Amino acid sequence: METIPYSGDMGGWGGPVRWEASADGVCERPVSRAATIKDVARRAEVGVATVSRVLSGSGPVSPATRERVLRAVRELEYRPSALGRSLKTQRTGSIGLVVGEITDPFCAELAAGVLACARTLGEHVLLDAAHDDPAREAEIVDRLVEQRVDGIIAIPTGHGDRWRAAMRAGVAVVFADRAPAELPEIPSVLADDAAGVRSAVEYLAGLGHRRIGFLGTTAPGAAPGTDAGVREATFRTALAERGLAPEEDLVVRARPSRDSAFAAAAGLLQRRPDLTAVLAATHLLGEAAVLVARELDLRIPADVSIVMVDDVPWAELCDPPLTAVARPGRDMGYRACEVLLRDPARRERGRPVVLPTELVIRGSCGPRTGMPGGAARSARTR
Amino acid sequence: METIPYSGDMGGWGGPVRWEASADGVCERPVSRAATIKDVARRAEVGVATVSRVLSGSGPVSPATRERVLRAVRELEYRPSALGRSLKTQRTGSIGLVVGEITDPFCAELAAGVLACARTLGEHVLLDAAHDDPAREAEIVDRLVEQRVDGIIAIPTGHGDRWRAAMRAGVAVVFADRAPAELPEIPSVLADDAAGVRSAVEYLAGLGHRRIGFLGTTAPGAAPGTDAGVREATFRTALAERGLAPEEDLVVRARPSRDSAFAAAAGLLQRRPDLTAVLAATHLLGEAAVLVARELDLRIPADVSIVMVDDVPWAELCDPPLTAVARPGRDMGYRACEVLLRDPARRERGRPVVLPTELVIRGSCGPRTGMPGGAARSARTR
DNA sequence: TTGAAAGCGCTAACAG
DNA sequence: CTGTTAGCGCTTTCAA
């Protein structure tokens, strides 16, 4: 048993204390380390098992003993170490959350949902951002596995290997928002993007628009089944169903950065002054479309109608307010967490949970005008 | 030593395997648990200490042994458990981050900064949101202490007790964005809100505005030294310096919710149709001001000029784009993490790190007009 | 250069 | 009802 230097004038405190020289090396002062279950047991004059029983509420303890233990706990400000417990129980009570970029409103919304659910279930959340970089994602997953998280919720960007490795290591995984086709065995919680895009196209077509531009994203892995793929594919299908030939020239893709989005929007709007509506597949693309339209002196919706996927707070503040396909980010996060933590059955089957989207109609779309202002537009070159 | 059921046809795999009945109780299949350092040692036919040495790169190991160990690691897909290591080393390599609400753009920006710095330092980030609720904050801090995080970065909302307890438990704490006056011993990283508000007031005053409204927040703890307090106090001071009597009627406070912000803005703008400019102390208040102005058919900036504290993405998208006091949220997060993890000296002293703000001038402010349109405004009552 | 062994703080049998 | 004890997976002396 270790011996602990004991200070007489501490009134028999009995807590863990050690003496350490302070930085200046002159005056010494007591530095307390966190109390352990042993310290509590010693002070309450009971065994460590009893302390554990009292604290976890398992097993029988006499009221008198319980009181003694609780008093010791209070006096020592004892906080059981999750480390010891986790090592023993093989459960850490924490989950990993891997998003693209936490400052992205959708990711943040999803994170909020995860946080809310995790809280009700008493779990901690380890957050990290992969920035759409598969290598970084792989590294994050590795580290999360080392931390022995009980599970991982991710908006995946990379390929299958690392995720399979995680599952082999015994870590449950649930995807949110995206579900790589190569990993059908991993359960996922998605928004019904297809329905969302379809509703947007139908809305625009119903307004009389015939030449609709599409601002999409280059799928990182270019894997079919990726959200970008779904949105673009649905756009084409929906158009075709209406008997509108999907002109290749009207579909442009950008990388997920503001610059790239802006360039894509500028390219589209300048190259095709004849289009009367734009469907932006992400809020970044929607933002770019609005900015570019403004730059080109295009009036919204008189000259060009705009719809975007993802309803973010600024959609309401925009002038005119932007029509958008709302996706339930928070619900998706909450649901993903539920699937991960309390729905092993569903996890087993791996069929995706699909949550509905909603077309929120505001003021950014109008009927196709006879004169789309092509002359004025082509005259200006940003 | 434990005995492990061994399956002949696994080709002498030697990894940790146990047999478990699957859910349906019919077919049995092998369920692997994560390999431990012992498994690796056994497979490489060395002692666990050697494995540890190889993996941590400490101590001398012969090339041959090292190779054998690394091969075993590879074959078993061994990932050292952070639990075991943390328990031994008394460092978890993770920090806690407590924000108000992760969907708040400023909080998210700050979180991104923390994430970035934590990553370079190899630390994990445990995220939680206190939702401006001191009780919740206290609970989160308690749990973080149980997790034995190496430190905590927080945008604090509650009172001192819990934070002091955390420090007593040996957890370093750094505040970001706010620094309760009651806890001067805890280091903090702040934005120079006073300078920011002052620059905004001077800008408006320079434009000729005399009756400037202030939309502020009710400080949760009402403690002086809180950001809300600083912003409002600075507003009054700056006004007074300009010889403008700070009319009580022109200062209103809201709780940090959209509804409350909207109500406050509506109240101010309706009650005082004579004011020509508004300074919003948060982006939520700025949003409310814009929405209310639009609702009341007030033109920005012709009828009313608006400046807000916190430059968020939508400020640029607003029409007209909103002039704002930019605060370096990401830098603050990064810096806070640095102070926490690699600047114990500064932590010791506890003098706040103050980062500069910048007035980003866009189109939402104009010179005071002779006729502020009071008649038209008071006629309408939302 | 290597291995054995002692814990880190906790829980969960298992005896009393 | 309560205490003793054996690990959980790892690092780290200390000998060999």
HEC string of A138-157 equals HHHHHHHHHCCCCEEEECCC
Q: Check residue A126 and give its pLDDT.
A: 98
* Overall average pLDDT of the A57-83 stretch: 94
Tell me which DSSP letter residue A129 carries.
E
Q: Check residue A246 and give its pLDDT.
A: 72
Q: Check residue A245 and give its pLDDT.
A: 74
pLDDT surpasses 70 at A3: no
pLDDT surpasses 60 at A142: yes
Fold of the domain built from segment(s) A2-80: 434 Repressor (Amino-terminal Domain) (1.10.260)
Residues 6+ apart with CB under 8 A from B112: A101, A102, A103, A129, B329, B330, B333
Q: Check residue A261 and give its pLDDT.
A: 96
Classify B193-322+362-380 by CATH class. alpha beta
Q: Check residue A377 and give its pLDDT.
A: 41
Q: Choose which CATH entry (3.30.70.580, 3.30.540.10, 1.20.120.330, 3.40.50.2300) describes domain A92-186+330-353.
A: 3.40.50.2300
- Where chain B has pLDDT below 70, the residues are 1-32, 219-228, 346-350, 370-382
Q: What percentage of residues in chain B have a pLDDT greater than 70?
A: 84
Q: Check residue B350 and give its pLDDT.
A: 66
pLDDT surpasses 70 at A45: yes
Give the whole-angstrom CA distance, residue A316 versus residue B55: 54
Q: What percentage of residues in chain A have a pLDDT greater than 70?
A: 84
Structure tokens that stand for A164 in this block: 């399979």
CB atoms within 10 A of CB A152: 24
Q: Check residue A283 and give its pLDDT.
A: 96
Model confidence at A242, pLDDT cuts 50, 70, 90, reads: confident
Average pLDDT, chain A: 86
Predicted confidence (pLDDT) per residue in B6-58, tens digit: 332 333 344 454 444 333 333 333 456 789 999 999 999 999 999 999 999 98
* Domain layout of chain B by residue ranges: 2-80, 92-186+330-353, 193-322+362-380
DSSP A261-314: HHHHHHHHHHH-TT--EEEESSHHHHHHHHHHHHHTT--TTTT-EEEEES--TH
Contact of A326 with chain B, judged by CB distance below 8 Å, is answered with: no
Q: What percentage of residues in chain B have a pLDDT greater than 90?
A: 71
Contact B124 A125 (CB under 8 A): no
Q: Work out whether strand A28-32 and strand A17-21 pair parallel, antiparallel, or are unpaired.
A: antiparallel
How many A×B Cβ pairs under 8 Å?
Answer: 141
Predicted confidence (pLDDT) per residue in A320-366, tens digit: 999 999 999 999 999 999 999 987 777 666 689 999 999 999 999 99
Question: Closest approach of chain A CAs to the CA of B123, in angstroms?
Answer: 10
Which residues neighbour strand D (beta carbon < 7 Å)?
Answer: A 45-50, 53, 59-62, 64-66, 84, 87-88, 90; B 2, 33-34, 36-38, 48-49, 51-53, 55-56, 58-59, 79-81, 83-85, 87-89
Contact A77 B169 (CB under 8 A): yes
Answer yes or no: is A90 CB < 7 A from strand C. no
Model confidence at A374, pLDDT cuts 50, 70, 90, reads: very low
The pTM for the full model equals: 0.89
Predicted confidence (pLDDT) per residue in A162-172, tens digit: 899 999 999 99
Are both B2-80 and B193-322+362-380 of the same fold? no
Average pLDDT, chain B: 86
Q: Check residue A32 and give its pLDDT.
A: 63
pLDDT surpasses 60 at A16: no
